[in-house]
Amino acid sequence: MKNLNIKEEARKLIDKLPENSTWDDLMYQIYVRQTVEAGLADSKASNLISVQEVRKKFGSIHFWRKHPIKQQVTH
Protein backbone atom coordinates (compact mmCIF):
# COMPACT_ATOMS: atom_id res chain seq x y z
CA MET A 1 0.00 0.00 0.00
CA LYS A 2 2.89 2.32 -0.66
CA ASN A 3 2.77 5.50 -2.71
CA LEU A 4 -0.81 6.21 -1.72
CA ASN A 5 -2.08 9.73 -1.43
CA ILE A 6 -3.05 9.91 2.24
CA LYS A 7 -5.70 12.57 1.67
CA GLU A 8 -7.35 10.51 -1.06
CA GLU A 9 -7.26 7.37 1.08
CA ALA A 10 -8.80 9.31 4.00
CA ARG A 11 -11.59 10.51 1.69
CA LYS A 12 -12.26 6.91 0.66
CA LEU A 13 -12.53 5.88 4.31
CA ILE A 14 -14.93 8.75 5.00
CA ASP A 15 -17.04 7.95 1.94
CA LYS A 16 -17.50 4.36 3.14
CA LEU A 17 -18.83 5.44 6.54
CA PRO A 18 -22.58 5.66 7.17
CA GLU A 19 -24.07 9.16 7.31
CA ASN A 20 -24.60 8.99 11.08
CA SER A 21 -20.95 8.16 11.84
CA THR A 22 -19.13 9.76 14.73
CA TRP A 23 -15.58 11.02 15.05
CA ASP A 24 -14.88 7.84 17.03
CA ASP A 25 -16.08 5.75 14.08
CA LEU A 26 -13.71 7.57 11.76
CA MET A 27 -10.79 7.31 14.17
CA TYR A 28 -11.45 3.58 14.57
CA GLN A 29 -11.38 3.07 10.80
CA ILE A 30 -8.09 4.97 10.57
CA TYR A 31 -6.67 2.90 13.44
CA VAL A 32 -7.71 -0.36 11.75
CA ARG A 33 -6.22 0.77 8.45
CA GLN A 34 -2.91 1.73 10.08
CA THR A 35 -2.79 -1.53 12.04
CA VAL A 36 -3.41 -3.66 8.96
CA GLU A 37 -0.82 -1.75 6.95
CA ALA A 38 1.74 -2.14 9.75
CA GLY A 39 1.01 -5.87 9.96
CA LEU A 40 1.39 -6.30 6.22
CA ALA A 41 4.68 -4.38 6.28
CA ASP A 42 5.96 -6.58 9.13
CA SER A 43 4.93 -9.69 7.24
CA LYS A 44 6.63 -8.52 4.06
CA ALA A 45 9.80 -7.77 6.06
CA SER A 46 9.59 -11.27 7.63
CA ASN A 47 9.21 -9.64 11.04
CA LEU A 48 7.07 -12.48 12.35
CA ILE A 49 6.91 -14.73 15.40
CA SER A 50 5.53 -18.23 15.62
CA VAL A 51 2.31 -19.25 17.33
CA GLN A 52 4.41 -21.15 19.85
CA GLU A 53 6.31 -17.98 20.76
CA VAL A 54 3.05 -16.06 21.19
CA ARG A 55 1.63 -18.80 23.42
CA LYS A 56 4.82 -18.85 25.46
CA LYS A 57 4.63 -15.09 25.98
CA PHE A 58 0.86 -14.66 26.45
CA GLY A 59 -0.43 -18.11 27.35
CA SER A 60 -2.83 -20.36 25.56
CA ILE A 61 -6.17 -19.45 24.02
CA HIS A 62 -7.87 -21.52 26.71
CA PHE A 63 -6.74 -19.05 29.38
CA TRP A 64 -8.12 -16.09 27.44
CA ARG A 65 -11.44 -17.84 26.82
CA LYS A 66 -11.83 -18.40 30.55
CA HIS A 67 -10.64 -14.86 31.39
CA PRO A 68 -11.74 -12.56 28.57
CA ILE A 69 -10.57 -8.98 28.50
CA LYS A 70 -13.47 -6.72 29.39
CA GLN A 71 -13.79 -3.92 26.89
CA GLN A 72 -15.59 -0.67 27.47
CA VAL A 73 -18.32 0.19 25.02
CA THR A 74 -18.31 3.91 24.25
CA HIS A 75 -21.38 4.10 22.02
pLDDT in tens, 18-35: 999 999 999 999 999 999
Looking at the domain assignment, is residue 71 inside a domain? no
Q: Does 26 map to a domain? A: yes
Q: Which residues of the chain have pLDDT under 70?
A: 1-4, 60-75
The predicted pLDDT at position 1 comes to 44
Give me the count of residues in the chain: 75
Q: How many domains does the chain fold into?
A: 1
* Domain ranges, residue 54: 6-66
**Domain contains 74:** no
Is the CB of residue 33 less than 8 Å from the CB of residue 13? yes
**How far is Cα 20 from Cα 31, in angstroms, rounded to an integer?**
19
- How many angstroms separate the CA atoms of 50 and 35, rounded? 19
